[in-house]
Amino acid sequence: MKIVVITGSTRGIGHGLADSFLALGCGVVISGRTVKVIEEVRADLSLRYGAERVFDHPCDVTDFEQVEALWNKAQGHFGKVDIWINNAGISHAQMEFWKHTPEEIRAVVQTNLMGMMHGCVVALQGMLEQGFGSIYNMQGLGSDGRQMKGLTLYGSTKYGVAYLTTGLVKETKGTAVVVGSLSPGMVVTDLLTSQYQERPEEWEQAKRIFNILADRVETVTPWLAERVLANKKSGARIEWLNGRKMAWRFLSAPFRKRDLFGRDGVPI
For the stretch 63-97, pLDDT in tens is 999 999 999 999 999 999 999 999 999 988 888 99
List Cα–Cα distances, 52 to 71, 143, 146, 243, in angstroms: 18, 36, 42, 40
Helix (H) or strand (E) holding 134: strand 133-138
Structure confidence by residue, pLDDT tens digits, 214-249: 889 999 999 999 999 999 999 999 999 888 888 888
Bridge partners (DSSP) listed for residue 27: 3
Distance between terminal CA atoms of the chain? 32
What burial letters (b/e) apply to 57-68, b meaning 16+ CB within 10 Å? bbbbbbebebbb
pTM above 0.85, yes or no: yes
Q: Using a pLDDT cut of 90, give the percent of the chain over it.
A: 71
Q: How high is the pLDDT of residue 197?
A: 64
- Half-sphere exposure of 54 toward its Cβ, with a 13 Å CA cutoff? 26
Q: How high is the pLDDT of residue 267?
A: 43
Q: How high is the pLDDT of residue 175?
A: 97
For residue 164, the Cα-to-chain-centroid distance in whole angstroms is: 15
178 touches 214 (CB < 8 A)? no
Q: How far apart are CA 95 and CA 102, in angstroms?
A: 14
Calculate mean pLDDT across residues 100-107. 96
Return the DSSP state at 18: H
What burial letters (b/e) apply to 176-201, b meaning 16+ CB within 10 Å? ebbbbbbbbbbbbbebbbebbeeeee
Question: Under DSSP, is residue 119 helix (H, G, I), strand (E, B) or coil?
Answer: helix
For residue 132, the Cα-to-chain-centroid distance in whole angstroms is: 22
Sign of CA dihedral 37, 55, 216, 107: positive
Q: How high is the pLDDT of residue 259?
A: 82
Q: List active site positions.
A: 154
Structural domains in the chain plus CATH codes:
3-185+216-242 (3.40.50.720)
Q: How high is the pLDDT of residue 268?
A: 39
